[in-house]
Amino acid sequence: MKAVVYTKYGSPDVLHLTEIEKPKPKDNEVLIKVCTTTVTVADVRLRGFRVPPSFWIPARIALGITKPKKAILGMELAGEVEAVGPAVTRFKEGDQVFASTFEDSSGAYAEYVCLPEDGLLAFRSAHVSCAEAATLPLGGRTALYFLREAHIKNGQKILVYGASGSVGTFAVQLAKFFGAHVTGVCSTANVDLVRSLGADKVIDYTQEDFTQNGERYDIIFDTVGKAPYAGCVNALTEDGVLLHAVAVPGVSLRMKWTAMTTGKKTVGGGPQKSSDDLIFLNDLVEAGKLKPVIDRCYPLEQIVEAHRYVDTGRKKGNVVITLN
């Protein structure tokens, strides 16, 4: 089968399309013929080994000291079940599914993938396209996790920083679904996009500093790890919640200190392994209440170009890779 592999860390040029052996499902696994996958920021960070200096040693041990332990990237996918192991009861051949491979060390840049039946795997509705479904397991589920951790309520004011990215575009729409008043922060080029997602107000960060306009928010969600930390804390209401999707060690310590010394809650981390969130997101898309933003689609053969584009930091929403 075709697969994109990388045997060393570096630029997009380390990715190579090659032929490898087709996997066979174990007793509790399903074999999925991949229809679509994505290029996430997490993929490009792993490819280039872009981790904070304080994470360098543990990351090298976990990911591979001299070269990647797992040669195939790709953290989310949509596809069709081609075969199942003898112990599988939930899925059958021909089922349309989508899944996260993040917990299984990725591997979606391939024509076929084996995943455990009890993993982050769910049925895809007929009215949800393969491209849409492939974007949900990482960006959609991350946004949903943080908003639930904040106990978002109808009428609350939330600011989403990085509102045009994968997590951000989902966060804006989900916050509106939960009844919040949403302010999105993005660059000039993405103002119209964020407004089209339902944001009540959009701030162009090149023109206005949201920490200096006197507004206070019940929830501030930094989806990209680039918002000024102290400014975010000061812009929260007295019992506000700060959500941080990219909490590097230094930020994590500051978050713990903020939670200890103020009445404000801070949330980092990420979602637990549960397919219930995938089902919830699928149902929202099917009902027309959530629309994944797809910036560009590339065939698998153009994976290097796709990674180069995501490396620019200018992608809007999601970049999808097609395999058929």
pLDDT at position 105 is: 64
Helices 166-177 and 141-149: angle between axes, nearest 10 degrees: 50
192 and 248 co-located in one domain: yes
Q: Measured between alpha carbons, how far is 283 from 126 in angstroms, rounded to an integer?
A: 11
Q: Is the pLDDT of residue 272 over 90?
A: no
Please name which of 286, 320, 304, 271 lies closest in space to residue 108, comparing C-alpha atoms.
320
Q: Which of 98-107, 109-118, 156-165 has the lowest mean pLDDT?
A: 98-107
User: Would 36 be classed as within a structural domain?
Assistant: yes
Q: Measured between alpha carbons, how far is 293 from 168 in angstroms, rounded to an integer?
A: 10
For range 20-35, the mean pLDDT: 96
User: Would 262 be classed as within a structural domain?
Assistant: yes
The H or E element containing residue 114 is: strand 112-116
116 and 153 co-located in one domain: no
68 and 154 co-located in one domain: no
pLDDT at position 56 is: 74
User: Would 104 be classed as within a structural domain?
Assistant: yes
The H or E element containing residue 193 is: helix 191-196
Q: How confident is the model at residue 315 (pLDDT cuts 50, 70, 90)?
A: very high
**Structure tokens belonging to residue 95:** 């089922």
Tell whether the torsion through CA atoms of 170, 285, 241 and 201 is positive or negative.
Answer: positive
pLDDT at position 110 is: 98
pLDDT at position 102 is: 83
| Residue 285, number of CB atoms within 10 A of its CB | 21
The H or E element containing residue 62 is: helix 56-63
Residue whose token pair is 């596809």 = 79
User: Would 151 be classed as within a structural domain?
Assistant: yes
Please name which of 97, 90, 128 lies closest in space to residue 35, comparing C-alpha atoms.
97
CATH value at residue 103: 3.90.180.10
pLDDT at position 59 is: 74
User: Would 227 be classed as within a structural domain?
Assistant: yes
Please name which of 214, 217, 210 lies closest in space to residue 239, comparing C-alpha atoms.
217
197 and 130 co-located in one domain: no
CATH value at residue 222: 3.40.50.720
How many distinct structural domains can be found in the chain? 2
Residue whose token pair is 């299984």 = 104
User: Would 148 be classed as within a structural domain?
Assistant: yes
pTM of the model: 0.95
Residue whose token pair is 């993405």 = 190
**Structure tokens belonging to residue 242:** 């700060």
The H or E element containing residue 260 is: helix 249-261
Q: Is the pLDDT of residue 53 over 90?
A: no
Give the pLDDT confidence of 224-258 residue by residue, as tens digits: 999 999 999 999 999 999 999 987 777 888 888 99
Q: Measured between alpha carbons, how far is 71 from 16 in angstroms, rounded to an integer?
A: 10
For range 104-130, the mean pLDDT: 93
Cβ–Cβ < 8 Å for 104, 75: no
pLDDT at position 62 is: 77
User: Would 287 be classed as within a structural domain?
Assistant: no
98 and 173 co-located in one domain: no
Quote the domain boundaries for residue 85.
Answer: 2-135+292-322
Please name which of 128, 160, 126, 156 lies closest in space to residue 143, comparing C-alpha atoms.
160
User: Would 81 be classed as within a structural domain?
Assistant: yes
Give the pLDDT confidence of 221-233 residue by residue, as tens digits: 999 999 999 999 9
